[in-house]
Every structure is written in structure tokens, then in C-alpha cells.
Structure 1
């Protein structure tokens, strides 16, 4: 199976202090495509928050691509799909080939802790020093849902709570799935029970406004994205060495490109529909749109991993891979940076004057440059030492 395509990539344009495969216990499994997809996800989330903080609205006849910007919170769904894909791979490899090492639970949990906790707790400490909001920081430190109580710092924290829920449940599901027929049957029964409850509360019924935040952002409602990520990983493992996909042909290249463009076009239409609904209405009455997004992102991932795309370097390149490598720092940092650069200027000029000026474009660009610089620093001083400890864990 071809696992080393990304590992052999040129290091041109990559900062000397940045190893794109840092933290991987088996460097042969590095896939540059996934780092680039992660970079695309954080850029979408960045543009989404820049759009919102600038006070922009989707026009009646939006230009192509506006849906991906105004609905750029789809990047969070993409992050969830990537988590399902990457974290399930060791179990799926072992299930497909018992000769592959079976994941060790202790190493798995240590790896997750080393990847997530250090930078997150540094962010909480900085927020506490700036705000003095002990109650909110304590709740966040215990991975309880926090919304805008520590705005603008806490805007993205809820996603880490959902990720942690997935990290805790994934080993149970995978152990059952790989434990033989009885374990697989038990896993199927549990999935069917969740699917029944999900259908009743999310697909058929509307979620009550008072419960929308907790329910719609919990693993219960966001599980389809993670499950689609797992299914995508299984499909990739099965198809990666398919003889027909190893052949280079214009027909395959054209089909891959057509599927990719179709997935992005459908995603754009879904996101436009969401942005044109009343604020929060999609979360209450059409939460299923997140599952549609996840399915379309899965198509994009498979097209990039398996397809012989013309001009693939537009989406798979070192610059986007670097953004993907810095995505965790950038994710935690970008909202405060955007807020403190955009909001004072927007308020002093007035929203309409700001939106009609060149500052509408210059300020987010400056914010992105500053956020990337801060992310590189936090990656070097906070993430990197713990990633090296993670790399030393058993495979």
C-alpha cells in the first residue's frame, strides 16, 4: 500500500524548524494531502470568522465561492472527518492485516493527551490572565461546553470538547469491531441505537432552542462526520492499491477532477442555503446539513488521495501543508487576533464605511499573517516538544 507519497515531498518553502512529519510514530504513514486538507479547513474557519466579524451578509446574487467563505465553519466538519479518518487508521490497518501492529490503548491515550492538552491549557492560562474569568476557565479545563463566556478567546473551544468525546469512545468502538463476530454485532447494535435516537431528535424532529447549543455541538449530533471519516479511511485502505487506480489515464484524471468539482459545487450550494436561513435556524431545523457536508468532504479527501488530478499542486503543496501543520495553534489563536484588529477599526469608521473600504481586505490579510507568525512561535515553543514525546511512544 502506498503510504509514503507525502513523506517524500520536497521541503522547499517549509521553515527549517518545521518538520511536516513531526509527531508521527511511523513517518512512513505521513500523507501531505491530509496536511493540506487540514490547512484548507483552518483557512475556511479563518475566513468564516473574518466575514462575521466584518459584519458582512450574503448578497442576493452571491459570487462563486461566497458560500465557502460565509459558511466556512464547514471547516470544523472537515476537521471532524479528518479526526475520524486518521485516528481509526491504526485499527483498520490491523483489522485488514493482523500482521500490522495492534494499537495499544495506553499509547493511544498518551498520544492524544500530548497532542491536545499542552497548547489548550496554555491558551486557557493566557485567557485567565487576560480576563480573570476563573469559573469559565475551570469549566473549559474540565472539558465542559463553553460558548461565548470568554469571548473572543473561547469561540472555538467547544470543538475540543466534542473531539475529546470522540477520543474516548473511538477505542471502545474499534475494540468491539475487531473482537470477532460478537463484538461486531454489539457494535452494530450500539450504532443502530444511536441512529434511532439521532433520527428522532435531529432528522425528524426539531431540536428545542434551549438545547440546541449543547446537543447540536455534542458528539451525539456530530457523530456522522466522525463516522464518515472512519468509512473514508476504510475505503482508502481498500482502494489505494486497486489496479485500476494505479493506471495513469486521462479518463481517470478527468473523472477524479469532475468528482472533486462536483463535490465542491454541491458543498457551495448547501452552505449558501445555510447562510440564507435565519441565524441559528439551520442548527435547529436542518442540522442534517453537517452530515451532507461531511459526505462531500469525504469525496474531496478520496479524490486527492486516490485521483490523478490535473494541477493537483494547487491543493497539495508545501505552503498549504505548513498551514495545516500549524492549524491547531492557528485555530486557537485566530479569533482573538481577528477581533482585536477588525473590531476597533470597524467601530471607529462605522460598519458601512469599513465594508466599503480597502481595510475590509487588508485587515484580515494582516490578521492572517500575524496569526501565522504567532502560530509558528507557539508550535515551536509549546507543541513541538510534546510532539517529540508523542513520537517516542510505541507505534
Structure 2
């Protein structure tokens, strides 16, 4: 089910950046449908919650089954899987910048931008070099925040291995604090700085972490899995629609915490047995969304570079054919990268994951789920 949720999220992210090939001023007034083109921040929050949940569940399980080497090995594999795909993208951007005459970014800026993104400090670099940083890899700051926060989580889990209650309470305190801090930072420093700062965006990840640490204790809540899933789905839909009428101020104050809580309830509901498939199950299991969700990392990495490259080469085109060409080219790139890079790397990391999960011969290890491998 979570692949379908990620599928919707990546669709909203791509639509929110479609202005690069079809500018908003040329699109006309869409009314409530404008939500489809302005929900990128909400969609990223959904990604963060799901990632925080799956990563935390896997790290804790690996710690309980294997000891400290378990979470260390698994997390190293996760970072490696993401890094290989990021570096392939950065290599392609570098090569294109050398041969594409329409790319006017100075070589020195390109090198600094790519090195910063490769080292997962891109969000800090963009905040300090907003006017010069390469825009076609701008969205990579989300991955930087992901790696930064979850690296700190790994350390916390290892240090507090025997104090799970302390870890949970600490996460809840950080969650409340970061939810308040994001609103204050937005008011004091503006949307740009707040968007790029790790401490103002980590609350969504912490919603997922908290859900993972508490899910086994929420037995009474999980008994109502059907209703919980339906309610969470409705709230997520409401948050998406709200972006057509409310801007980033609402996201940093009210909508952000609401979407975080709703997605946390959704992932908790996904762990509960449901005797029959309701409307929400059917939505999230819709095959096109599931396919998009499974390729969401690849789509996320490549959609802006492809859109900007098409826009640079077709300045006189009507927005419709330009958009269609951009989407078609993105689809081709995603299929190629999935087959030649993403799937082989994921398979390799999965095999390493299985080896690190094995207990001594007298024990039986619980291997990671496919969703955890893709987290």
C-alpha cells in the first residue's frame, strides 16, 4: 500500500515543478485543480513520514536481531543505494553542462554545486548561494535533509539501544519542538530559509519515527485499521486540496503538522490486519500509483533536470507540446535508469542486507521487507 501513497506523492511533486515547461501564468485559472500543481511541499512531507517509519522499524528490528552491526550495515547499504543513483545523475548533469551550449551556468559554480550535492550538504549550499546554485538539481536538498536526520536517528538508536522508552520520549519532544520551530523560523527568516533548513523540515520525518516506535503499543488503535486508513486518506486529500487556497504560511504553521499526523496514522493503519479491501485500500493499491511509487526515487532525481533541459532547448514552443515532450523524455529516462542502475543497485544492496541480517545458525533471522529495502 505504501508504494501507492508514494506514487501519489511523486505525481504531485512532478506536477508542482511542471511550471518549468508550462509556466503558471500561461496555464490559466484552475480553481480547486490548482492543488495538483501546488502540493509539492505536502507531498514531500508524505515521503518523509513514510521514510522515517520504514527506516526506524528496520533499524530497530536489525538491532534486536543482530546487534549494533545490523542497523549499521543496513543503513550503510541504504545510503549507498541512494548515493549511487545521485552520483549517476550528477555525472550526467556535469557531462551535459560541458557539451550543451544552452547551459550557461559557470563551470566553477557547476563544480561547487555538484560536489555539495554529492556530499549531502546541498541544502546549506543553496541557502548561502541562492542566486548562483544550479537550479536543475535544486530538489536534491530533500535527500540531504533525509540523510542528515536519519543519520542522527541511527546514532540515537545505537546509543539508546537499551533505553527504548527514553528514545521514544526524546523523539516526541523533538517532534513537538520542531513543529513549533518551523512556524517561528518561517515567520523570522522567510520561506526560503525555512524550506532549506534541516531543523525546520525534520518534523515530518519525526512523525514517521514516532509512529514506528509507538506502533506496537497502539493495539487498541490498530483494531480500527479500516476506519483509521479511511480517515487518514480523507485528511491527506483535504491537505492537498487546501494548497489551492492557502500558501506556504499555512504549510509551515498548520498544514505541515496535520499532514504529518495524518500520514503517520496511515502507516500505522497499514500495519493492522483488514478483513476486506475498502475504498482507501483500492486507491492506494491502484497499479499506476504503485508503479510510480516503486520508481519514485528515480522520478524525483531526474524530473527537474529533464524539464529544465527541454525548456532551454524549446523556448519558442507552445507549452503543450513542450510539456508532452518533457514528460515523454522523463518516462524514457526513468525506464532506462531503473533497469540499468536502480534495480541492479537495489538488488545488490538487498543481498548485502540479507547477509547482515543473519543470526548464528541456531537462530532464524527475519529478513527485511521489500518496502524496507526501498525506504
Do these two structures clear the TM 0.5 threshold for a shared fold by scoring above it?
yes
| 1:236–1:334 CA distance, 2 compared to 1 (3 A) | same
Equivalent in 209, 220, 244 of residue 272 of structure 1 = 244
Task: State the secondary structure of the residue aligned to 1:54.
Answer: coil
2:258 alignment counterpart = 292
1:228 alignment counterpart = 207
RMSD: 3.5
Which whole-Å CA distance do the structure 2 matches of 1:126 and 1:109 have between them? 26
Which whole-Å CA distance do the structure 2 matches of 1:204 and 1:167 have between them? 23
Question: Are 1:176 and 1:184, in contact at CA under 8 Å, matched by a contact in 2?
Answer: no
Which whole-Å CA distance do the structure 1 matches of 2:183 and 2:222 have between them? 39
What is the total number of aligned residue pairs between the two structures?
A: 332
Q: Deviations over 1:82-138 (max 9, x none)?
A: 11011001244478xx5x444624313321232111111111122222333212222
Task: State the secondary structure of the residue aligned to 1:348.
Answer: coil
Greater percentage in helix: 2
2:363 alignment counterpart = none
2:115 alignment counterpart = 138
Task: State the secondary structure of the residue aligned to 1:272.
Answer: coil
User: In the TM superposition, what are the counterparts of 1:157-306 in structure 2 within 5 Å?
Assistant: 157-180=140-163, 184-185=165-166, 188=169, 192=173, 195-196=176-177, 199=180, 201-204=181-184, 206-209=186-189, 213-234=192-213, 236-237=215-216, 244=223, 255=227, 258-275=230-247, 286-287=252-253, 289-303=255-269, 306=272
* CA deviation after TM superposition for structure 1 residue 296, in Å: 2.4
2:346 alignment counterpart = 387
Equivalent in 16, 38, 41 of residue 48 of structure 1 = 16
* CA deviation after TM superposition for structure 1 residue 156, in Å: 0.9
Q: Does 2:42 align with 1:74? A: yes
Equivalent in 113, 126, 130 of residue 92 of structure 2 = 126
Task: State the secondary structure of the residue aligned to 2:40.
Answer: coil
Which whole-Å CA distance do the structure 1 matches of 2:41 and 2:75 have between them? 28
| 1:261–1:135 CA distance, 2 compared to 1 (3 A) | closer
User: In the TM superposition, what are the counterparts of 1:311-330 in structure 2 within 5 Å?
Assistant: 312-330=281-299
Which whole-Å CA distance do the structure 2 matches of 1:128 and 1:258 have between them? 45
Which whole-Å CA distance do the structure 1 matches of 2:8 and 2:213 have between them? 22
1:17 alignment counterpart = none
Q: Deviations over 1:344-390 (max 9, x none)?
A: 65x426xxxx57xxx2xx64454333212211211222223322221
Which whole-Å CA distance do the structure 2 matches of 1:91 and 1:51 have between them? 38
1:373 alignment counterpart = 332
Question: Are 1:260 and 1:299, in contact at CA under 8 Å, matched by a contact in 2?
Answer: yes
Farther off after superposition, 48-57 or 165-174: 48-57
Farther off after superposition, 319-328 or 49-58: 49-58
Which whole-Å CA distance do the structure 1 matches of 2:179 and 2:40 have between them? 25
Which whole-Å CA distance do the structure 2 matches of 1:238 and 1:175 have between them? 21
Q: Does 2:301 align with 1:332? A: yes
Which whole-Å CA distance do the structure 2 matches of 1:258 and 1:381 have between them? 38
2:278 alignment counterpart = 309
Which whole-Å CA distance do the structure 1 matches of 2:222 and 2:283 have between them? 26
User: In the TM superposition, what are the counterparts of 1:71-110 in structure 2 within 5 Å?
Assistant: 71-93=39-61, 100-102=65-67, 104-110=70-76
TM-score (norm 2): 0.74
| 1:107–1:265 CA distance, 2 compared to 1 (3 A) | closer
Question: Are 2:179 and 2:203, in contact at CA under 8 Å, matched by a contact in 1?
Answer: no
* CA deviation after TM superposition for structure 1 residue 80, in Å: 0.8
Which whole-Å CA distance do the structure 1 matches of 2:212 and 2:175 have between them? 21
Task: State the secondary structure of the residue aligned to 1:115.
Answer: helix
Gap regions ≥5 residues in structure 1: 1-32, 246-251
